[in-house]
Amino acid sequence: MRNTTGSLDSPAARPARVRSVDRALALLDLFGERTDSWGVSELAQRTGLSKASVFRLLQSLTAHGYTARDGSHRYVLGMKPLLLARALLRRHGVVEVARPRMETLARRTGESVVLTVDGTDGVVCLAAVDSTQPLRLSVQVGHVTPYHAGATGKVHLAHLPPERQQRVLARRLVRYTPRTVTDPGALRRQLAEIRRRGYAISRGELDSGVAAVAVPVPGPDGALVA
């Protein structure tokens, strides 16, 4: 999730972008951070916008179904994002193909299985089958995982076009645990090894005590699908 604090009132907006749309989408990004409600003052503080601006944006988002007001007059996500998510899942027919195989793999290994696709700021969970074990990792559909930490993100990063991979590695890479690799040179060596052997392994890079294995799912043309 992008940190939007203090950046939305800056005059350095790109000419090709519509500032009001950027602001509205930044508000929606914040609703993805948590499942409870937001107040106008909280959103204004997080975005750096005035309360009047936030209120007007929320009025428009609510009118179109992207946000809604709850019983305490705070704001929550509306139903429109869910409808868009369903349309996205229908477009990604890979979910229908992959789900039976995911269920079989989860049953054989006793572990959770997650299907992810390339996103904007990381990889996005399209489908998940949870382990039946009492202690298990549960990933929600729509959850975004960073590219540089954990097997899932790294297997995608290893197969990104060189220019996109370079943009990711040029960012400030967050250290989530003591095992998170944040040195670009070390990451490049790991990505080359992932491409060579065909899969990625991680141990405690994103969440301490969690290990993962990830494999790329190529399409008919060889490009990464998931």
Sorted by where each begins, the domain ranges of the chain are 19-80, 85-214
CA separation for the pair 58, 13 (Å, rounded): 21
Instruction: Give the mean pLDDT of the chain.
Output: 86
At 143-197, the pLDDT tens digits run 889 999 999 999 999 999 999 999 999 989 999 999 999 999 999 999 999 999 9
* Amino acid identity, position 202: S
Of 86, 160, 78, nearest to 119 (Cα)? 160
> Could you give the 3-state DSSP secondary structure of residue 49?
coil
Helices (H) and strands (E) counted in the chain, each on its own, are 8, 7
Per-residue pLDDT at 13: 44
Contact residues for 169 (Cβ-Cβ < 8 A; gap 6+): 148, 184, 187, 188
CA separation for the pair 66, 208 (Å, rounded): 35
Fold of 85-214: Beta-Lactamase (3.30.450)
Per-residue pLDDT at 197: 94
CA separation for the pair 154, 203 (Å, rounded): 12
pTM of the model: 0.65
Determine whether domain 19-80 maps to CATH 3.40.190.10.
no
> Cβ distance 67 to 77 under 8 Å?
yes
| φ/ψ bin of 222: left (φ > 0), alpha (ψ from -120 to 50), beta (otherwise) | left
Kindly tell me if the per-residue pLDDT of 212 is higher than 90. yes
